[in-house]
Amino acid sequence: MIAQQVINGLMLGGIYVLIAVAFTLAIGVLNFLNFSIPGTFMVGGMVSWAMIRVGWHWTIAFGAALFCAAFVGLLVYWLTYRPSKNSDPEVPLVSSLGFLVLLENIAIIYLGSDQQSFPQIIADFNMRIGPVVIGGAQLISLVVSLGVVFGLSIFLKRSNAGRRIRAIAENRDTAALLGVNVGALVPQLFVFNALFTALGGILFAVSYLQVSPFMGENLGFKGVSAMIIGGMGSIWGAIIGGLLIGLVEVLSIQSLGSDFVNICVYGLLLLLLIVRPEGLLGKPAARDKL
Partner 1 sequence: MTGYSLGILVLLSFNVIAAYAVYLPLAAGQLNLGIAGFMVVGAYTASFLTNEFGWPVAGAVASGGAVAAAVALLVAIPILRTHGIYLALATFALGQVIAAIFLNLEVVGGASGYPVTAHIEAIAVIGTAIGVVAFMALLSTTRFALYLTAVKSDPLVSDLMGINIRFIKVAAFTLGAAVAGIGGGLYAHHFNYIEAQYFSVMLSTYTVLYVLLGGTQTVWGPLVGALIFTLMPELLRSSAQWRYALFAVFIILFMAVRPQGLLTTGFGSYLRKLVLRQDVAR
Cα Rg of the chain, angstroms: 19
> What is the rounded distance in angstroms from the CA atom of residue 143 to the CA atom of residue 127?
15
Q: Which is nearer to partner 1, 33 or 149 (CB)?
A: 33
- List Cα–Cα distances, 167 to 22, 35, 201, 283, in angstroms: 18, 24, 30, 17
Number of H helices, E strands in the chain: 11, 4
Determine if 178 is a binding residue for partner 1 (CB under 8 A). no
β-bridge partners, 211: 116
Q: Which stretch binds partner 1 (CB under 8 A): 41-49, 154-162, 194-202, 224-232?
A: 224-232
> What is the rounded distance in angstroms from the CA atom of residue 226 to the CA atom of residue 21?
9
How does DSSP classify residue 128? Answer: E
Determine if 182 is a binding residue for partner 1 (CB under 8 A). no
Q: From residue 71 to residue 100, what is the string marking binding to partner 1 with x (rule CB under 8 A)?
A: --------xx--xx-xxxxxx-xxx-xxx-
Determine if 106 is a binding residue for partner 1 (CB under 8 A). yes
CB atoms within 10 A of CB 18: 33
Shortest CB 105 distance to partner 1, Å:
4
Determine if 262 is a binding residue for partner 1 (CB under 8 A). yes
> What is the rounded distance in angstroms from the CA atom of residue 224 to the CA atom of residue 241?
9
Determine if 180 is a binding residue for partner 1 (CB under 8 A). no
Provide the binding-site residues for partner 1, judged by CB under 8 A: 27, 33, 79-80, 83-84, 86-91, 93-95, 97-99, 101-102, 105-106, 108-109, 217, 221, 224-225, 228, 232, 259-260, 262-263, 266-267, 269-270, 273-274, 277, 285, 288-290
